[in-house]
Amino acid sequence: MDQNALKRAAAQAALEEVVEGAVVGVGTGSTANFFIDGLAQMRDRIAGAVASSEATAARLRGHGIAVLDLNDVTTIPVYVDGADEINARLEMIKGGGGALTREKIVAAVAERFVCVADESKQVGVLGRFPLPVEVIPMAQAHVARQVVRLGGEPRLREGFVTDNGNLILDVHGLAIDDAVVLESKLDHVTGVVTNGLFARRPADVLLLATPGGVRRITRG
């Protein structure tokens, strides 16, 4: 089974988590795209979707799924999104696709975060995947210096601008023992919009696709 088949299997399993008649939050990336494609089959049974990126909004609309403004929505029972890494506490690194800020906003509103991932995303310690940090352009050099002080090696994601008009620093060389602490430290650097650690608000459910089937893991 190749990685795409595993991603599709996790995304398919997530359709069962969707609350009928309600708004669903939708993440960004290739696994989320499989979820969107599946969601099209049940578009008449949901109240619409809140998108975590322009790319996701376009794909949802392409399937005839109503895309709602988050400011017009009070409740999102379920948010479905992928991850770049996820640990046993269901803390994640996200933002490989650069959509981390909107993903974190939708996740903050959602009652339940369902992470969809193939087994390659499961790790013991977060940090092998470079940690994305979204920064206000004029603060890029300042934030980079502070990241070095925290032990990381920041690299500008060349030629990339986020949906919010900002830059991404991908931070290499971190072994993240305490993700909650590092998430807060990075968020407190002036000029940082968001960082890709989802530890203060981890996933509630992980649908982990393996060649033997999709495992449903809940946060203990």
Residues annotated catalytic, as ranges: 103
User: Which of 8, 59, 94, 104 lies at the binding interface for ligand 5RP (CB under 6 A)?
Assistant: 94
User: Which of 19, 22, 30, 215 lies at the binding interface for ligand 5RP (CB under 6 A)?
Assistant: 30
| One-letter amino acid of 147 | V
Kindly state whether residue 101 participates in binding ligand 5RP, applying the rule CB under 6 A: no
154, 171 Cβ separation under 8 angstroms: yes
For residue 32, the minimal CB distance to ligand 5RP (Å) is 6
Kindly state whether residue 191 participates in binding ligand 5RP, applying the rule CB under 6 A: no
Number of residues that bind ligand 5RP (CB under 6 A): 17
Kindly state whether residue 97 participates in binding ligand 5RP, applying the rule CB under 6 A: yes
Instruction: Name the strand (E) or helix (H) holding 37.
Output: helix 30-39
64, 137 Cβ separation under 8 angstroms: no
Kindly state whether residue 81 participates in binding ligand 5RP, applying the rule CB under 6 A: yes
Site string for ligand 5RP, 108-127 (x = CB under 6 A): --------------------
For residue 49, the minimal CB distance to ligand 5RP (Å) is 16
CA distance 212 to 220: 23
Given phi > 0 = left and psi -120 to 50 = alpha, else beta, which region is 42? alpha
Exposure of 208 in the CB half-sphere (CA atoms within 13 A) = 20
Kindly state whether residue 28 participates in binding ligand 5RP, applying the rule CB under 6 A: yes
Kindly state whether residue 27 participates in binding ligand 5RP, applying the rule CB under 6 A: yes
CA distance 117 to 119: 6
Instruction: Label the pairing between strands 205-210 and 110-118.
Output: parallel
Applying CB under 6 A, the residues found at the interface with ligand 5RP are: 27-31, 81-84, 94-100, 103
